[in-house]
């Protein structure tokens, strides 16, 4: 080990209230002494009372975030949270496939742990993703999970 903190990515939604999503993930990552990186899959308008809206970026922008991070911040672990659309789930699945393949071909690259916490309903009970997105996550993302924590 080089003495540098492990790099941990969160690929998830942004919680404007700060109680969940990438904001909470980055706090937890930091608390464990790791360096946190994030790729934002959706923006939410929410507070402690509930969710007012959800906006997802195009898959191409998520791909750009992931590609940029891979250039010099290769992860030791990746945590997947809310994926706002089926297209984003497919994009994350394609990325995970590439990540696992790359780490299996290059013995200098540590195989990253993948934790999938498929956020489907907010704490306040708001349904965050549709059935098509759930199916896409099951087909494209879940197969790459080392740990799956559905709620």
Tens-of-pLDDT digits for all 151 residues of the chain? 568 999 999 999 999 888 889 999 999 999 999 999 999 999 989 888 888 888 999 999 999 999 999 999 999 999 999 998 999 999 999 999 999 888 777 766 678 999 999 877 776 677 778 899 999 999 999 999 999 998 7
Task: Kindly state whether residue 6 falls inside one of the protein's structural domains.
Answer: no
Look up the CATH number of the domain holding residue 104: 3.40.1190.20
Phi-psi category of residue 21: left, alpha or beta, with phi > 0 → left and psi -120 to 50 → alpha: left
Q: What is the pTM of this model?
A: 0.91
Q: What's the domain range around 53?
A: 24-85+97-129+139-148
| Residues β-bridged to residue 55 | 43
Task: Kindly state whether residue 49 falls inside one of the protein's structural domains.
Answer: yes
Using alpha carbons, select from 150, 1, 3 the residue that is nearest to residue 81.
150
Total number of domains constituting the chain: 1
| Residues β-bridged to residue 7 | 35
């Amino acid at each position: 080990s080089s003495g540098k903190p492990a790099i941990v990515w969160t690929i998830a939604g942004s919680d404007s209230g700060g109680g969940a999503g990438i904001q909470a993930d980055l706090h937890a990552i930091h608390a464990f002494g790791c360096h946190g990186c994030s790729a934002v899959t959706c923006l939410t308008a929410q507070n402690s009372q509930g969710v007012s809206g959800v906006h997802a970026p195009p898959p191409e922008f998520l791909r750009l975030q992931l590609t940029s991070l891979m250039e010099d911040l290769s992860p030791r672990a990746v945590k997947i949270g809310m994926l706002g659309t089926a297209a984003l789930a497919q994009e994350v699945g394609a990325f995970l496939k590439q990540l696992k393949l790359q780490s299996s071909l290059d013995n200098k690259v540590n195989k990253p742990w993948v934790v999938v916490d498929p956020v489907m309903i907010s704490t306040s009970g708001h349904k965050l993703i549709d059935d098509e997105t759930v199916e896409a996550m099951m087909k494209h993302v879940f197969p790459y999970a080392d740990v799956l924590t559905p709620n």
